[in-house]
Each structure stands twice: as C-alpha cells, then as structure tokens.
Structure 1
Amino acid sequence: MTSAPARRSVRTRLAGLSIRARLMLIGLAGLAGALVIGGVLLYTVLTTSLGRSVEGTARASAEQVALFVDSGQLPDPVPVSGSQVVQVLDAAGRVVTASVTADRLTALVTPDELRRALAGERVSVPGSRSGLAGRLLVAAVGAGPSVPSGRQFSVVAAAPTADVEQSAATLRTLLLWIFPLLLAVLAVIAWRVIGAAFAPVEALRRGAERIDESSSETERLPVPPTRDEISALATTLNAMLERVTAARHKQRAFVADAAHELRSPLASMRTQLEVAERLGEGGDLPAELLADVDRLTTLVDDLLLLARADDAATTRRTSDLDVGQLVSDVARRYAHARVPVRTAPGLAGRELPTRAASADLTRALTNLVDNAVRHARTSVVLDATAVGHQVQLTVTDDGHGIPAEDRERVFDRFTRLDEARDRDSGGSGLGLPITRALLRRTGGDVRLEDAAPGLRAVVRLPRAG
C-alpha cells in the first residue's frame, strides 16, 4: 500500500504540471488501463476459444473411433486427419491399435491422466511422447462392452496445441508493440487537441498579462467566437474590467477635484499667514503654520500630479532629450545639497537620446535624487549609459538602504518605511509612486537594487533613434 508521504509527493508533482499536461496524463492513464484490461480479456478469450476448439476436435475424433470399436469395424491403423494422435487402449492400459502418428507400444497417457481425461477434465501432455514438438491436448472416451472397471476399451485422441501457442505468442507480441505505439500516437493527438481547446484560455492569459496600470484603459481581453464557458468567462472579465476602469476614473476625478479645490484655500491661507507674519501679528504662530501650509500645498500638488499621471487620456508634449545632459543639469541643481551630488566620470561624452516629456522626466529624476540625498551618508552618484535599445539611468547613494522585501512596496502610495516615519524628513510617501507613474507613461520603468552599502535606483527608458 502506498504511504501517505508518497501520495503527497505524487500530488505535489502533479500540481506542478500545467492543466494541459495533467489532463493528458489522466486521459492516457485511463486509456492505458482500458487497453490493458481489454488486451488481457482479448488474450484470455482467444486462447480459451482456441483451446476449446482443439479439445473439441480431439474429442470428436475419439468419439468417431469409439463408434468403430462399438461396431466391431475398427480399421488398423486408425484413420486420423492431420497430426492428430489416436490410441485404443484395453482395460489394462495397453495399446490395442493406434494411428500411424502414434506409438503402438507405449500409451500416450498415464493411468491417472487417462482417468482424468475420461472424467472430462482437460489434460495436456508433452508432444515428445509421440515425437511431436509442443504439447498435446488429450480427450478420452470409453468404447466396447462394459467390464467391472468401466468399458473394455478406451479411445485416446490428442491434438497438438502448437498452432494455438503460436497464435497466442503472436497476439502477445502484437499487443506489447501496438499498445505503446497506440498510446504514443494518442498522446500526440491528445496534446494537440487539448492545446487547441486551451488556446482561448492562453489568449485570455496573454491579454490579462498585457493589461496593467500603463495599458490603455480601452484595452480588453479577446472574446472567443464560440458560445462556451471560455467565451462567457472572457465576457465576464471584460465586464469586470469596465467596472474597474469606471472606479479608477471616479477615484482619479475625486483626487484631482479635491486637490484642485484645496489649492485655492491653501493659497489664501498662505497669503494671510505671510501678511500676519510681516505685520508681527500672532507671534510665532504664522511661521509655524506656514510650514504646515507648505507641506499641505506640496501634498496637494503631488496628488494632482499623480492623478494626471494616471490619466491615460492626458496629452503629453514629448520631445527628443539627451539623458546625459539632463542628468548633468539635475546634478548642478544639487550643488549645495546636504551631501555632494556628482555625476559618474565620462558621462559628458555620451550621447543618450530618448523621447519623453521633459517635465515628467525631470520630475522623476528629481524625486529620485531628493530621496537619495535624504538618506545618503556621504554622497550621491548619478550615471547614465546605453544598454541595448534602452537608456539606463542610475541614482546611487551610500545610505542605510532598503530591505529586499520592501523595495517594491515603497512604490505603493503613502508608504513610508520605519526610517522615514517622520513627515518632516520622510516626505509624504508619494515621491516614488509619482516617479514610477511618470516613467511608465513614457515607456520606461524604475526599480531599486542593493548598492552595498546603500541603494541604487535604476531607470530604464526607450532609446530614441
């Protein structure tokens, strides 16, 4: 009996296979079992039928010779057809007469075999007793007048089973060769048929994989022309995407409207606080409130920018840019930053063209540099180089870094790690999400890597020309 760990191991291996492979394995296992059972039944029925046919032929010959004995007209030698062997034995088991194919001195069967054959049992003896190859199937009937122990004579007829054995061997060979070949052919057919059946599912998977935050909001999953469960699934998923798109539109509209509406009162509050500060009204309160108003204004501007970055319908003015020049310009803006911001050697001589919105790319790079300066210990290094058909831009700092498990989470909105909990130094948690949103709508992206020590932000942009 299979142990529980072995069964779990089999289930684990099966679970690691694709549905297509599992369906094919299950189907082939069932088909193989059916073929084995059918083959065994066919072999059993055929060999049994042939054996009974040979036994029936031998019994018919014995009964015919017994009629000759009963009528007293037994010819010598006994006539037989083919390679049959016939002997007439007396009550003592001695050979009285026989066919030309039989031994006239030694009985073909032993007394026990003769008793069993007369009782109707199937008896098989070696063919060597009659000088034949293979085995002989024996049938016996009583003949002549009765004696105390039975009939006076016994007619023994035997037919060779070589043809039956040859037929059985041929059938075994055919089954052993044909079944694996048939399974292999059916496996290929099943793989193609199941693949064709799952082609719409694969199309749905590829379509769903293409749809992400940077995809067009009008993009939908392909609906198969069939009217089956897969078509219904695709229609349902497209309806779900419509609802998700509508919800995203509402969310963006709310954020944009709220941010837009908040700008006016914040501007008014700033003006009043600045006037109060100049007039000396309120003591230190106007200065303290101005810092909060500035923070709120920055947050509102970030929310408005993020909402516009998420809006696929927003038109953007793109132009050809030199990434190397852009990196150098941003580095100069941070000449008096908390830590030195410098460019890598040799950057000035590289031509790294890309096509993007200048304001978007500048804002994205500025956000990355702000983040690096905030957490660096001694320096921040900017670099850009060509990698295939892309331009790679890096911002490297020597700060405390970010654990690998958190490097993707920091791109979620309003996420601040433990080291950046302080709002005064840690920001609002929108810098990196804004950076990714701006880069993705230009066809690029950003990821974080370990710089040992420190952190490296890697930006990939499509290379122009």
Structure 2
Amino acid sequence: MSRPFASVRARATLAATLVVAVALVAAGTAVLLSLRSNLLGEAGTQAERSAREVATGLAFAKPYDDLPLDVDDRPVQVVDEEGRLVAASEDLERISGTGVDAVKPQPAATARDGGDDDDDGADDDDHGESLEPGEIGARTTVSDGSATIDGDTEDYRFAAVPVETEDRGRLTVYAGAPLSAEHGAVNTALTVMLIGFPVLLAVVAWVTWLVTRRALRPVEGIRREMAAITASEDLARRVPVPDTHDEVARLASTTNETLTALESSVERQRRFVADASHELRSPIASLRTQLEVAAAHPELLDLDGAVEDTVRLQRLAADLLLLARLDAGERPADARVDLAALAREAAEGRRGVRVRAEEDVTVAGSRGQLERVLANLLDNAQRHARSAVEVSARRDEGPHGAGGDGQTAVVAVADDGEGVPAADRERIFERFVRLDAARSRDDGGAGLGLAIARDVALRHGGTLTVRDTPAGGALFELRLPGA
C-alpha cells in the first residue's frame, strides 16, 4: 500500500537531484572557464613582461648576446622586419604559434628560404603602429603555440612586442610563458568536480529521500486512518492532524471537516428514513384497518376516511420525493416566475387570506417548487392563525446574495396567531419537527412543509426566515434574487 508514496518520494528525489546536477554542471563550467581565462591572462602577462624586457635591451642598442634570452628556460625570438630570425633562446629546438618557425639565427641569404608565410605574419605584427627610434610598441599581440626547449615540449602563450631601433630597424620580440600551470589547475579542478559532483549528488538524493519520507509520514497516517474508517464504516473517527501548520495539516483538517459533513449527512439521512417510515406507518395502518373491516363487513366501510388516508399518504409520498430530489442536488428550472401572480393564485379559495402584491415581482426558478413553498407557508399560517392571514409580494432594492439585477423579490406570509418562540425559529425548519406535540397528525401534518420551503428557497439562491409580527403573530419572509 505504500507504493504510491514511494513513487512520490522517488519523483521528488529524482527531480531534486536533476535540478542540483544541472546547477552543478552550469556552475562547474563557469568556474572552469573563469579559471582558464584568468590563468591564460596571467600567462599572457608574464610573456609580455619577458618580451618587453628583451625589447628594452634592444631599444638601448644592446648586442644580441647581452639580451636576457634564456631566463627561466622560456622561448624567445627576435625577428627583424623582413621576417628573419636574428636572435633566439640558446636551447630552443622547435617553435610554433609565433609566425616564425626558425629556431637558430640565420644569415640574410638563408633567412627567408621557404618563409613567405612567416614574413607575412611578421609584417602583420610589426607594421601595425608607427614608432620612433628607441621606442617600444604599446600594442601587444598574443597567440598560443608550443615550443621544445632542451628536449622538453610544452604549450606556451606568446606575446609579440615591436621595438624600433636606430641601427637595426624595426624588430619584433616574441616571448613565451608556459601554460602548464593553467593546464594543471584546470585538470585538477576538473578532476575534483568529476569526483565531488557525484558524491554531492548522492548526498542530495539521500537527504531528499529522507526529508520526503518525513514529510509524507503524516500523509501515510491520514491514509491508514481513512482506510480504517472505510473498513469500519465508523464516520465518528477522525484523521490525525500534524502540528506542522503546513499543507499536510490543512489537508488533514479539510479531511476531518469532510468527514464531519459526511457523518452529519448520513445521520440526517438515517433520521429522515426513520421518521419517514414512522410517518408512513400511521396512514398505511389506518388504511389497512379500514380495508380489512370493509372486507369483513362491507356495511361498515368508512369511504371518506379511506380516501382521506389515501390523500394524506399521497401527499407525504410527494413531499418525501421532493426532499429526495433536493438532497440529490437537483437544480431548479430557469423559468421566469411572477411571485405576485403566484401569491394570488395560492391564496385563491382560502378563507381569511388577504393578498397585497405589487405588479411584476419576477424571479427565475421552478414554478412548481415555488408554488409548493407558498402553499406550505399558507397551510402553516392558516393552521396557527386565529382569524386572518396576510400575504404580500414586493420588490426590495436592497442587496441580495445571488445574481439578478440588484433587486430582491420578497414574499411575506403573516398570521395573527401566537407566533414562534425565539428559541425554536430555526428548529421549525428541520424535517419532521412539530412544536405542538399534542396536535394531532391529521391537523398538524408530518412536519415537512417548512423544511421543504427552506430547502427550495436555498436552492433558488434565497432565504426563508421567521420573526414576530407587530401584533405578535408569526411572519415568514421569503427573499429571492430578482430576475
């Protein structure tokens, strides 16, 4: 049963590891490039320093033999403006990357053999700026290459510095700085990354796995408790709420709220079934008794009583069916209904009922259900009124809780009876509730009329409330969004 949670943990661990891996690769690449750039820049600076040291000696007309050409075993070349090598490091055996491949100073007659390309390279470097005799060029050209000195071959960064001499014309000094330090540092950093990154990723995966397991532990507790509730069908149980104040705690709280609502709904349904069975038993038993008497003694048949019980049974069945449809979430129709006309129709033929209604008090909803609401309110009012019932229908400009055009349709049903005690003004809208226990079932009904009226009002986006009239009777007020 823990496989779904293990799957969540695996996905979270994989995602975290991939994100860290991408970040490490990006950071490692940036570090390597920065390190290489800095080391190359340092090598270029060293090469330029060596080249300018030699160029300074040339500017002061020092002989070639007195120049510092063999300092730190670095390759140095001095080339004239015709591309001829005129001085070089003593142990230089091979060189590339400077544009002049010669390693030994040569006489003028042989300096240019096969060296057309070398001359071009030297010309490009030397003739780029105008210099006075004894002046060293400010511009340095940097290139990469390799050289073999005394049998050791290495990669070098070369700096080319031009210098104008009085007796030897324009010369160019090439000096190299080894790149072994750069290669070594980059390789070392790369080796450290190749070893350290997998270790770091393993640590990240392990920590993520542990943290995810701890984070999902309350979820597993919720799942186990929900499984136990499902198996036991005990809706009074609740899932544990972790003391973390996070999303999991809110999930547990919401789950408990759902269980509470479900328990209340199931309990209400059980009471409804029990009360409905109790209410149905009386008319069915009475009707059966009358039929059995009639079967044995036809002359004793109470036909009016049998019809009355049948009608009562039919009404009760219709009420129960309507409540079942409302509980199932049946949406009312979207027809336009004039409550003023509906109130006049509902009051027609009822003794002692007076109607005061404005014109065109229109709402959107189910005409049949709203007829039932008015009929139930009038039945209740007539049952408790001493002599008169008044029905009014009007438009109210005040705000309401649902759509419409900003108006509220109000239907009020008032009687001159004893009213409803303040403590019972919500209880009377519960199903099968009758405040007068001594009242007979035939006179008082099954206690479903007001419950049906309240449910229909809520389904139409409105309210149904009760309060006292100025004369002390009960005033039921139905408020619905105007169409």
TM-score (norm 1): 0.50
TM-score (norm 2): 0.48
**Bigger CA radius of gyration:** 2
